[in-house]
Structure 1
Amino acid sequence: MSGNRREFLKTTIGASTLLALNHSVPTFLSRAAAQAANRPVSDNKILVMVQLGGGNDGLNTVIPYEDDEYGRNRPTIRFKANEVHKIDAQLGFHPQTKGLWRLYQEGHLGIVQGVGYPNPNGDHAASMQIWQSASIEYQGCQTGWLGRAIDRASDADTADIPGVFVGTIARPFLLNAEETVVPSVRTIEDYTLQKQPAATAVPRSTNDRLIDFLQKTSLQADATADRLDAVLKKQKSGNRAEYPDVPGAKRLQTVADLIRADLGIRMFSTDVGGGETGAFDNHANQRGNHGALLHQLSESLAAFVDDLARDNLLDRVLLMTFSEFGRTVRENGRRGTDHGSAAPMFVVGGKVKGGLTGDHPSLTELESGGPKHHTDFRRVYATALQTWLGIDSGPVLGEEFKPLDFLKA
């Protein structure tokens, strides 16, 4: 490794790094680097949460192409049997999701159907807060469910940074933790360390003092630097899966790079479609817009799976998608759909059973104009926490939820 790159990494990944930290951070960073220096190669299981901002239309993602109600309610945005990638005699993937269909056929992708919560909230911010806090009574909640899991992981093992957000939008509430600093990462060379609850830049003088501290103490960063350097060399060699040239794919590529670097990170969050209202909010001209987004998601997830599989890492990783709500069964007058309720979640990984979990919801028994949920989203979270990560889900979710059966033993 070059001296320049080693120094670059020792100073928390570069002079261009933006640090938004308080006075407790040097202790955190010292602990992080000291642990990284002596960590053996890990076999810890990893969770990746992918946010589909805006409210993804589940009915045009996993399409009930043989249901008469589907065609009757969506005369201009429906997809017919000869257009979809068929799952079975009733359901099929959107035409633009060939990558997801392949993963499904290979057994690396499962579909949890009819996921939601009682009395769905049609407001983007409120519903996303519910999903990210894992609390129906979200008002006043200061931490996200993954942030609480990260706090418990910090207590349970020696991971230096148990959780990371990969993206360019503001770090989501999902990762708000009480005890742990959760960094935001754009690439493995460009970190933004953010301290709850807000992410705002500190004055340059404070930044200088922190960098001086890091330089003086060195933070035993050599082992971490070597691991990151090996990942960068692999990038340049071209010996990896080919990712499409879209933002969502680049973020998942960064997640794969950080998994490969084996820094002890067990929980990741990223997004496709941006935050807040997000691109999946297709009130108009949905057929083309939604198809383009699903194509980005599909090809990005397929590349991510292929990338991890090449290095025998796929069995350690569980990826799950979520959105704040689904869409209405009936299309509106602008060739789009409005805010609905339940929708499917994708679960992806080497230890996923594949196939369908739960029945496709009825298109006549509705709530808020959309399919009525039959699976509480917190059961999916409980599965990820309890069954996958080995973290007691009760304290994280605030009550006990029975895990689902979509993972192999």
Structure 2
Amino acid sequence: MTANRREFLKGSFELAGLISLSPAVPAFLWRTARAQAAFGTAAASDQTVLIVLQLTGGNDGLNTVIPYENDAYAKARPTIRFTRREVHRIGRTGLGFHPRMKAFLRLLDEQMLTVVQGVGYPNSKREHAAAMRDWQTASPQNDETQTGWLGRAADQIASERIGEVPATFVSNIAFPMALRAKDAIVPAIRSLKDWTFRPLPGQPANSQRDFLEHVTRATSEPLGDAGKAADNPLLELVRRQTLSACTVGRRLEAVAERRPRANVVYPNFGLAERLRTIADLIRADLGTRIFFTELGGGDFGGFDNHANQRGNHGALLHQLAESVAAFLDDLKRDRLADRVVLMTFSEFGRTVAENGRRGTDHGAAAPVFLAGAALRGGLVGDHPSLTDLDNNALRHHTDFRQVYATMLDRWLGIDSQTVLGRRFPSLDLFRS
């Protein structure tokens, strides 16, 4: 065996590890390449996608979907209530969206928004970390649970050989418990730039991509008695992985180059940019089926409005409504809206009565929003009573795990009992 051949084989043996450690190749891109090389195909373009949007801090559902005709509402909130004239009225229901959520009324009229009212769980906690853990693990009675409900779903997807990266976290806050998995790889990113080729220090802009393409060509050519990569399983593995890495990289770069999209206008909000990144990744068709992002900040602040609530809460709801509407408009442009459902949640609602500081305190039940073209749209369930309360908080009539079970069984095609540990009744949320 010649020295050149020995060195080439030694290099090819180490190449996968070398490339995966390179700072110029995103870890997600390399893992996706490994998955696609192993299974021999790219992601199927008809896979459904679930996006979970956390409203951090405890959203005040009562000033989000507002019972403006209810006398008990006006009495409980003399300084922070909204009147019939101010809200965006939802038909003749006596309910209306917050004045800064006009975009949600449009989505509701287009049957692309569903409002599940009165969502919570028995003996719900009112401390941020504990309540958030309950919603993210979907195991309120088990403080020892080490995985999240979406992480367990990701494990199920990965076990079915759909791909090595079934879920992704898009934000710059701490990695959420909801995505903690036993086996599945769940990366965290901030923007599309994190998933494209980057030049090594002092090297030309395309140096990393050119290197991978060179490896692909080299492992496809005869090397004396070593033969082609097709005759050598190790070389074939290297060739297929590098080829897939190049393909995925090009696909991401092509998506990035399409920005800005002249007829899709995203507002200048952090959430809008995160949803835009998710839309780009869905469009790139990499096989990721679960995305998680958030609104409200890394610490428990955001929606936690104990004082002077009207201004801050309105600004957050405006960002939510405008960002989600732009996101769906973007997906509709490429006929992707029927493949995607976005679901919101918050760790708890707020107290019915304001607290004397023009704010509200930690409560219980609140609405969950679902957005997408596959949904029936409209209101689901009755608005909770404002007089039959749970220690000054709204009582729930829909367990949040019913919403989760419906998303798992009916949307992602994953057995909800395996993920949630028991069977929960599903909700009638989808058109068919």
What TM-score, normalized by structure 2, do the two folds share? 0.82
Verify: 1:150 aligned to 2:154, yes or no. yes
Aligned pairs for 1:143-292 within 5 A: 143-190=147-194, 217=238, 219=242, 220-236=244-260, 238-292=261-315
Q: Displacement, 1:294?
A: 0.2
Verify: 1:98 aligned to 2:98, yes or no. no
Aligned equivalents of 2:39 and 2:194: distance in 1? 18
Which amino acid letter does the alignment assign opposite residue 68 of structure 1?
D
Which amino acid letter does the alignment assign opposite residue 53 of structure 1?
T
- Residue 371 of structure 1 aligns to a residue whose secondary structure is coil
Verify: 1:319 aligned to 2:342, yes or no. yes
- Residue 290 of structure 1 aligns to a residue whose secondary structure is helix
Question: Which residue number corresponds to residue 56 of structure 1?
Answer: 59
Q: Displacement, 1:83?
A: 0.5
Which amino acid letter does the alignment assign opposite residue 50 of structure 1?
L
Aligned equivalents of 2:366 and 2:392: distance in 1? 12
Aligned equivalents of 1:13 and 1:253: distance in 2? 28
Q: Displacement, 1:185?
A: 1.3
- Residue 182 of structure 1 aligns to a residue whose secondary structure is coil
Q: Displacement, 1:120?
A: 1.4
**Considering only aligned residues, what root-mean-square deviation do their CA atoms show, in Å?**
2.4
Q: Displacement, 1:18?
A: 8.2
- Residues 33 and 248 of structure 2 are in contact (CA less than 8 Å); yes or no, is this contact kept in structure 1? no
Aligned equivalents of 1:81 and 1:95: distance in 2? 10
Which amino acid letter does the alignment assign opposite residue 108 of structure 1?
M
Verify: 1:333 aligned to 2:356, yes or no. yes
- Residues 352 and 407 of structure 1 are in contact (CA less than 8 Å); yes or no, is this contact kept in structure 2? yes
Aligned equivalents of 1:387 and 1:135: distance in 2? 21
- Residues 163 and 287 of structure 2 are in contact (CA less than 8 Å); yes or no, is this contact kept in structure 1? yes
Verify: 1:295 aligned to 2:318, yes or no. yes
1:68-111 per-residue CA deviation (whole Å, 9 max, x = no partner) reads 00000000000000100001331000000011111011100010
Q: Displacement, 1:31?
A: 2.6
Q: Displacement, 1:16?
A: 6.6
Which amino acid letter does the alignment assign opposite residue 347 of structure 1?
L
Q: Displacement, 1:33?
A: 4.6
Question: Which residue number corresponds to residue 225 of structure 2?
Answer: none
1:258-311 per-residue CA deviation (whole Å, 9 max, x = no partner) reads 100000000000001123413000001101110000000010000000000000
**Gap regions ≥5 residues in structure 1:** 1-9, 193-210
Question: Which residue number corresponds to residue 15 of structure 1?
Answer: 23
Aligned equivalents of 1:177 and 1:31: distance in 2? 19
Q: Displacement, 1:29?
A: 5.6
- Residue 142 of structure 1 aligns to a residue whose secondary structure is coil
Aligned equivalents of 1:12 and 1:59: distance in 2? 49
Aligned equivalents of 1:31 and 1:258: distance in 2? 18
Aligned counterpart for 2:365 among listed residues 335, 342, 346: 342
Aligned equivalents of 1:408 and 1:276: distance in 2? 37
- Residue 365 of structure 1 aligns to a residue whose secondary structure is coil
1:226–1:123: structure 2 CA closer, same or farther, 3 Å change rule? same
Q: Displacement, 1:30?
A: 5.5
Question: Which residue number corresponds to residue 233 of structure 2?
Answer: none
- Residues 36 and 163 of structure 2 are in contact (CA less than 8 Å); yes or no, is this contact kept in structure 1? no
Aligned equivalents of 1:12 and 1:112: distance in 2? 44
Task: Answer with 1 or 2: which has the greater Rg.
Answer: 2
Aligned equivalents of 1:175 and 1:367: distance in 2? 31
1:23-68 per-residue CA deviation (whole Å, 9 max, x = no partner) reads xx98x56633525873165100000000000000000000000000
Question: Which residue number corresponds to residue 354 of structure 1?
Answer: 377
1:82–1:164: structure 2 CA closer, same or farther, 3 Å change rule? same
Question: Which residue number corresponds to residue 45 of structure 1?
Answer: 48
Aligned pairs for 1:387-406 within 5 A: 387-406=410-429
1:16–1:96: structure 2 CA closer, same or farther, 3 Å change rule? farther
Aligned counterpart for 2:397 among listed residues 374, 396, 406: 374
Which amino acid letter does the alignment assign opposite residue 128 of structure 1?
M
Which has the higher mean CA deviation after the structures are superposed, 31-40 or 69-78?
A: 31-40
- Residue 366 of structure 1 aligns to a residue whose secondary structure is coil
Aligned equivalents of 1:48 and 1:320: distance in 2? 6
Q: Displacement, 1:155?
A: 1.1
Aligned equivalents of 1:87 and 1:296: distance in 2? 20
Q: Displacement, 1:160?
A: 3.5
Question: Which residue number corresponds to residue 78 of structure 1?
Answer: 81
**Gap regions ≥5 residues in structure 2:** 1-17, 197-207, 216-237
Question: Which residue number corresponds to residue 14 of structure 2?
Answer: none
Q: Displacement, 1:366?
A: 1.1
Aligned equivalents of 1:117 and 1:40: distance in 2? 36
